[in-house]
């Protein structure tokens, strides 16, 4: 049994990981989370208090990070500013948290010789053409498009430098788009589900031809545990479940599953610099570490996610008005 310091554990994927790790391992978990607009303490409700502790604080606070890292056997680093549209409106918190915050954690892990796992995104690789047979691999050159993905790319490179220069025992994973319960309503899938619940037509950026490679958050968590347990120091593992869908298909599936007509959506202004397609080749993770995704039926996973948002309105209702006000101010 060991203690994991999980940063960003009150956010969407971090809280999914905490729940997954509590169920599937004997680890104790300390969550370090600043509780930004994107988080919800309630995402950790119902977990055993003798195994999960929430510390409210900033990953850029060097003395707090040092104190918590000293007591941990491993750091699993999820905390970030994560929404591309926000990064286009104001990049500065992205630089502070994603770059300075990651640097602060790396320095603490270096001092205490702590195992470190860095959570990142496929967006660091830029985008692919729709008809390109290629997928992203760990060898694909970095080519980020947005302030968000540029800061995530920078944070990955910091981790690689700390491995090479200081011998830090670190691994990195770059995952594709996640879906599932407890995702903030600013993100594509929960925004459209909660719009339909509110009798508002879903909003499709541009023509809707952009492709994302969807994976359920629980499959992401299982992959992170496999890397923590069996991953090789200094290696980068790509996480994806062969879930490529264009945005129009996703909106139409949501509409159908919620009993609405498949054309009951609106086209809105496109995102500047909008990446066209992401696709992950996860064969290294599958072959080397034996991971396979469990959620292989996207429509079934989406149906369960819709049910969760229908049954947990009290969880998301407080986020909705602010998220939509921000979107309407920017024409989305
Ligand atoms: P999220 O926005 O739902 O949650 C982020 C969490 O980090 C929040 O709880 C927030 O309070 C916390 N946080 C932000 N700044 C902080 C700071 N300075 N100090 C401490 N805590 C802070 O994000 P998410 O979608 O769950 O993403 C988690 C991680 O996974 C991120 O690193 C993201 O880049 C990565 N990722 C996300 C996706 C996706 O599809 N959402 C895909 C691949 C990788
Ligand atoms: O209302 C919308 N309409 C729409 O068509 C919104 C909010 C989005 N979109 C499109 C833009 C994207 O092509 O849907 C797609 C998904 O959008 P987001 O949910 O904003 O995700 P994306 O920009 O792909 O980034 C996500 O996946 C990778 C996460 O937010 C990142 O944190 C992660 O790194």
State whether the beta carbon of 10 lies less than 6 angstroms from ligand 1. yes
How do 266-268 and 215-216 pair as beta strands?
A: unpaired
Ligand 1 pocket mutation, candidates 35, 82, 119, criterion most atoms within 8 A of CB: 82
Catalytic residue among 40, 123, 186, 275: 123
Sign of torsion, CA 208 211 215 220?
A: negative
Q: pLDDT tens-digit profile of 92-151?
A: 999 999 999 999 999 999 999 999 999 999 999 999 999 999 999 999 999 999 999 999
Residues 6+ apart with CB under 8 A from 259: none
Q: pLDDT tens-digit profile of 249-275?
A: 999 999 999 999 999 999 999 999 999
State whether the beta carbon of 205 lies less than 6 angstroms from ligand 2. yes
Question: 173 - beta bridge partners?
Answer: 119, 237
Q: pLDDT tens-digit profile of 183-197?
A: 999 999 999 999 999
Ligand 1 centroid distance, CA of 263 (Å): 32
The bound ligand whose nearest atom lies closest to the alpha carbon of 123 is 2
When pLDDT is cut at 50, 70 and 90, the band that residue 320 belongs to is very high
Ligand 1 centroid distance, CA of 199 (Å): 29
pLDDT value, residue 1: 66
Regarding an ipTM greater than 0.90, the answer is yes
Domains of the chain: 3-178+214-239 (3.40.50.720), 184-211+244-273+297-325 (3.90.25.10)
Question: Do residues 323 and 275 touch, judged by C-beta distance below 8 A?
Answer: no
């Amino acid at each position: 049994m060991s203690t994991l310091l999980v940063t960003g554990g009150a956010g969407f994927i971090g809280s999914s990981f905490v729940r997954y790790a509590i169920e599937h391992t004997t680890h104790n978990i300390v969550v370090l989370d600043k509780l930004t607009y994107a988080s919800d303490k309630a995402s950790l409700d119902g977990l055993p208090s003798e195994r999960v502790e929430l510390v409210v604080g900033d990953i850029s606070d060097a003395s707090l990070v040092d104190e918590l890292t000293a007591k941990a056997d491993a750091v699993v680093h999820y905390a970030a500013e994560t929404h591309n549209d926000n990064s286009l409106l104001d990049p500065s918190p992205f630089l502070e948290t994603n770059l300075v915050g990651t640097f602060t954690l790396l320095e603490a892990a270096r001092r205490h010789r702590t195992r470190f796992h860095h959570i990142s995104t496929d967006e660091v690789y830029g985008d692919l053409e729709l008809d390109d047979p290629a997928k992203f691999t760990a060898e694909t050159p970095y080519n980020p498009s947005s302030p968000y993905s540029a800061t995530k790319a920078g944070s990955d490179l910091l981790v690689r430098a700390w491995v090479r220069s200081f011998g830090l025992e670190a691994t990195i994973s770059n995952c594709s788009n996640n879906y599932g319960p407890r995702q903030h309503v600013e993100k594509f899938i929960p925004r459209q589900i909660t719009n339909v619940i509110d009798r508002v037509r879903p909003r499709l950026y541009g023509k809707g031809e952009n492709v994302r490679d969807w994976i359920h958050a629980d499959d992401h968590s299982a992959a992170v545990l496999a890397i923590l347990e069996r991953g090789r120091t200094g290696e980068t593992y790509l996480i994806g479940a062969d879930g490529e869908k264009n945005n129009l298909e996703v909106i139409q599936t949501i509409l159908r599953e919620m009993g609405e007509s498949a054309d009951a959506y609106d086209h809105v202004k496109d995102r500047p610099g909008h990446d066209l397609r992401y696709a992950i080749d996860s064969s290294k993770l599958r072959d080397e570490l034996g991971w396979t995704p469990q959620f292989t039926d996207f429509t079934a996973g989406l149906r369960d996610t819709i049910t969760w948002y229908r049954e947990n309105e009290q969880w998301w209702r407080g986020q909705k008005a602010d998220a939509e006000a921000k979107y309407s101010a920017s024409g989305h």
